[in-house]
Amino acid sequence: MPHNDSDLARMRWDIFCNVVDNYGDIGVCWRLARQLAGEHRLAVRLWVDDVQSFVRLCPEADARLDMQQCLGVEVRRWAEPFADVVPADVVIDGFGCALPSVYLTAMARQTPRPVWFNLEYLSAEPWVNDCHGLPSPRPEPGLVRYFFFPGFTAGTGGLLREAGLLERRDALRADGAAQTAFWAAFGMPVPQPSALKVSLFCYENDNIPPLLDGWAGGERDVLCMVPEGRVLPQVSAWSGRCLVAGDVYMRGRLEIRVLPFVEQTCYDELLWLCDINVVRGEDSFVRAQWAATPMVWHIYPQDDMAHIGKLSAFLDLYESGLEPADALMLRRFWEAWNHGEGAADIWPAFAAMLGRLSSHAEQWCTALSAGVGGSLSANLVDFSGRIRESSDPNFER
């Protein structure tokens, strides 16, 4: 049965985000909320338990307010006791966060029942294809939660990508005046074309000091942009100074510039204008792929080392199309980076293949944008519409 677009447009959406640490969870939820509201014209409420963290991603927001409108999204403070509200038609719990009990009770009483998604973490592991879209009956009467997995392949939920994103990227790269204005906003001149421009946004990593040593003593100028974050104390310790946003530190062939924490659109532009991007977690990892430049992924570390298997699963996909020697070198560097040792020794060989990695990154981005997995937001809208039209309470994709 085809979807009734007018009915879909009237559906209200609630997204719940529990900010555990860093900004990955709220980063993904905020991008999704903006896209659902802006591109799909849906009424979206974003429930956030840490509004202060949200304000860093959306500077126009006010951390003192319990309810506010931000870029077409109603942003609500998630606090206890939870507000007495009517549940939305579609409910998303971001990354398995536990919904408020009073909200669950209200969902169970609602007719028709809300469509409920657990938005899972991004993974390239093969089992994701089998679990994406499966229903999970809940103890609450009549409620079913569906697992929704972002991913890189057909059969997953796809990736977040705003309409026109790649066109805006290409326009910035072709516009010298716009680039000058971008760097000027950070108080920086336009970088020299000969310098290797690196963005460094990662977790704490013992590879940092030896790698900075190597860049400082290398044969090529390196301009390293370090946004405020968890790695900055290590960079500061290496420099012997307490570096803060706006600081510039130079040693040998290396220039370090500390950037303030920026909102998401500005961070995207930084990735577009760098030659290589060191990224972490999920949100910046995906954005680096849309930048279509070489990248190094610092996956979120887990105590049981499960993250290494997830890293390998992505590399199995990402290496496709590379020459075997380049694929091996890429894997060696990424694994050294994530194990916290040895990356500086591999860097010269890794840097020597950046030209080929750049071509590969463009090909990878083109393949992703061609719709193998599709748009995460569009897939959510489509799946929720099909569930609402189905009479089967355990509807499967």
Angle between helix 264-273 and 24-38 (nearest 10): 100
Max intra-chain CA distance, the chain: 68
Q: 51 with 26: CB under 8 angstroms?
A: no
Positive or negative: CA dihedral 232, 234, 235, 241? positive
Question: Distance between CA 140 and CA 324 in Å, rounded?
Answer: 52
Whether 326 is a known active-site residue: answer no
Which phi-psi region, left, alpha or beta, contains residue 72 (left: φ > 0; alpha: ψ -120 to 50)?
A: left
- Among 255, 269, 282, 283, the active-site one is 282
Which 3 state secondary structure label does DSSP give 222?
Answer: strand
Q: According to the 3-state scheme, what is the secondary structure of 301-337? A: CCCCCHHHHHHHHHHHHHCCCCCHHHHHHHHHHHHHH
Give whole-number Cα distances, 188 to 180, 236, 245, 348, in Å.
9, 20, 12, 27
Q: Which pair of structure tokens corresponds to residue 3? A: 């979807």
- Among 25, 50, 89, 93, the active-site one is 25
Residues 6+ apart with CB under 8 A from 241: 247, 249
Whether 25 is a known active-site residue: answer yes
Q: Which residues of 203-236 are buried (b: 16+ CB within 10 A; e: fewer)?
A: bebebbebbbebbbebeebbbbbbbbbebbebbb
Report strand pairing: 254-259 vs 222-227.
parallel
Question: Distance between CA 195 and CA 218 in Å, rounded?
Answer: 12
Q: Which residues are catalytic?
A: 25, 282
